[in-house]
């Protein structure tokens, strides 16, 4: 079955970036010259997905405006013969089909995904957490879609993390069944390092079976009093297999100040318009 739809939870308050995110959604913070969320929307498109469903909340209209047509801007660029920029802006509004739904209360990631139930319907779908920016030769979701052909169940992107960092992630207990592929046995959301079943951490890319919606309805609030996606997946695991895939690519936690800075530096070093000058600047820094 083809994966056509991508859900982007984007209702969080972005408290780690306050005050920058008081009036601007954290998804709109720029990595060089594109907002964070655009990187994962582009990944969705390059992975062959056709529809993007963004779960927004209060104060997030800038995301909708960003992916919409700006008639005034396009007119201005036309009048001034800025054809290259015009093409870029036009491409963005014709990029992929967008739908929006709102999470009315901040009840957790699992709850946010559940808000997309009616727009997704009864088909497997992808989830992107745009805080996780992944630089990969083959887009990570495309790698996962390929794995899904062989293992047509829910698939979680995972990466090994240092033991001291496991409390930031959903951690899986799993059995390796093929190169980079694991069968999930159990999982726990943000465990203390002494309780973690492994150091395989869930990263923000998922392929989910539609049965996740019923599973999310069955669970109680978990870590932080929120409806956790990890707990929903744990409930799903009782009914059908769940797999994990150790993706190929460099991942940045752009939801964190240091991770965001690292992502900016790495992307700047790869950006042909500025990398020479930027490299010279970095070399000249007296550290
Ligand atoms: C969420 C998930 C967690 C996962 C992480 C990946 O946590 O709840 O299981 O490991 O994303 O980025 P958050 O970072 O939103 O707190």
Residue 262, token pair as written in the block: 């690292």
Instruction: Please state the atom number of ligand 1 nearest to the C-alpha of residue 223.
Output: 8
Residue 207, token pair as written in the block: 């392929």
Taking CA 211 as the corner, what is the angle to CA 207 and CA 216, rounded to the nearest 5 degrees?
A: 95
Domains and CATH numbers, the chain: 5-284 (3.90.550.10)
5 DSSP β-pair partners: 51
pTM exceeds 0.85 for this model: yes
CA 275 – CA 252 distance, rounded (Å): 19
CA 211 – CA 147 distance, rounded (Å): 19
Instruction: Please state the atom number of ligand 1 nearest to the C-alpha of residue 203.
Output: 6
Say what the pLDDT of residue 93 is: 67
- Output the residue whose Cα is nearest ligand 1's atom 11: 204
Tell me the backbone φ, ψ of residue 131, rounded to 5 degrees: -60, -30
What is the tally of helices (H) and strands (E) in the chain? 11, 13
Q: How many CA atoms lie within 13 A of 226 on its CB side?
A: 18
Residue 198, token pair as written in the block: 């492994």
- Output the residue whose Cα is nearest ligand 1's atom 7: 169
Closest alpha carbon to 233 in 159, 160, 174: 174
Given the DSSP bridges, would you call strands 200-208 and 125-128 parallel, antiparallel or unpaired? antiparallel
Say what the pLDDT of residue 143 is: 98
Burial (0-12, 13-18, 19+ Cβ within 10 Å), 87: exposed
- Output the residue whose Cα is nearest ligand 1's atom 9: 170
Instruction: Please state the atom number of ligand 1 nearest to the C-alpha of residue 132.
Output: 12
Say what the pLDDT of residue 138 is: 97
Task: Say how many C-beta atoms besides its own lie within 10 A of residue 96's C-beta.
Answer: 15
CA 129 – ligand 1 centroid, Å: 8
- Output the residue whose Cα is nearest ligand 1's atom 15: 109
- The best mutation among 13, 107, 169 to test binding of ligand 1, ranked by most ligand atoms within 8 Å of the C-beta, falls on 169
3-state secondary structure 25-78: CHHHCEECCEEHHHHHHHHHHHCCCCEEEEEECCCCHHHHHHCCCCHHHHHHHH
CA 242 – ligand 1 centroid, Å: 17
Task: Identify the three-state secondary structure at position 100.
Answer: strand
Helix orientation angle between 140-150 and 36-46, rounded to the nearest 10 degrees: 40
Residue 109, token pair as written in the block: 């990631």
Q: Are 254 and 131 in contact (CB under 8 A)?
A: yes
Instruction: Please list every protein residue whose CB sits less than 6 Å from any atom of ligand 1.
Output: 109, 129, 132, 169-170, 189, 201-204, 228-230
- Output the residue whose Cα is nearest ligand 1's atom 1: 169
pLDDT (tens, 9 = 90+) of the chain, 287 residues, equals 899 999 999 988 888 899 989 889 999 999 999 999 999 999 999 999 999 999 998 888 899 999 887 778 888 888 898 888 888 777 766 778 999 999 999 899 999 999 999 999 999 999 999 999 999 999 999 999 999 999 999 999 999 999 999 999 999 999 999 999 999 999 999 999 999 999 999 999 999 999 999 999 999 999 999 999 999 999 999 999 999 999 999 999 999 999 999 999 999 999 999 999 999 999 999 88
Residue 127, token pair as written in the block: 């989830």
Closest alpha carbon to 156 in 227, 237, 220: 237
């Amino acid at each position: 079955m083809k994966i056509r739809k991508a859900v982007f939870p984007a209702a969080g308050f972005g408290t780690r970036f306050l005050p920058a995110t008081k009036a601007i959604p954290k998804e709109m913070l720029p990595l060089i010259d594109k907002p964070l969320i655009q990187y994962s929307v582009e990944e969705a498109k390059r992975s062959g997905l056709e529809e993007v469903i963004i779960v927004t909340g209060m104060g997030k209209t800038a995301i909708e405006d960003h992916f919409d047509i700006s008639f005034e801007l396009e007119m201005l660029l036309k009048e001034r013969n800025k054809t290259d920029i015009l093409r870029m802006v036009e491409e963005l509004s014709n990029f992929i089909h967008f739908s929006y739904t709102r999470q009315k209360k901040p009840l957790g990631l699992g709850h946010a995904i559940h808000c997309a139930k009616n727009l997704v319907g009864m088909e497997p779908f992808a989830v992107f957490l745009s805080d996780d920016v992944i630089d990969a030769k083959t887009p990570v979701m495309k790698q996962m879609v390929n794995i899904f052909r062989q293992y047509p169940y829910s698939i979680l992107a995972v990466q090994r993390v240092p033991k001291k960092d496991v409390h930031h992630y959903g951690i899986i207990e799993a059995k390796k069944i093929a190169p980079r592929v694991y069968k999930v046995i159990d999982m726990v959301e943000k465990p203390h390092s002494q309780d973690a079943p492994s150091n395989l951490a869930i990263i923000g890319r998922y392929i989910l079976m539609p049965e996740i919606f019923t599973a999310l309805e069955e669970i109680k609030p978990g870590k932080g009093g929120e409806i956790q996606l990890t707990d929903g997946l744990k409930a799903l695991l009782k009914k059908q297999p769940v797999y994990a895939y150790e993706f190929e690519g460099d991942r940045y936690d752009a939801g964190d100040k240091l991770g965001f800075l690292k992502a900016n530096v790495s992307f700047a070093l790869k950006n042909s318009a500025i990398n020479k000058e930027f490299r010279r600047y970095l070399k000249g820094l007296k550290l």
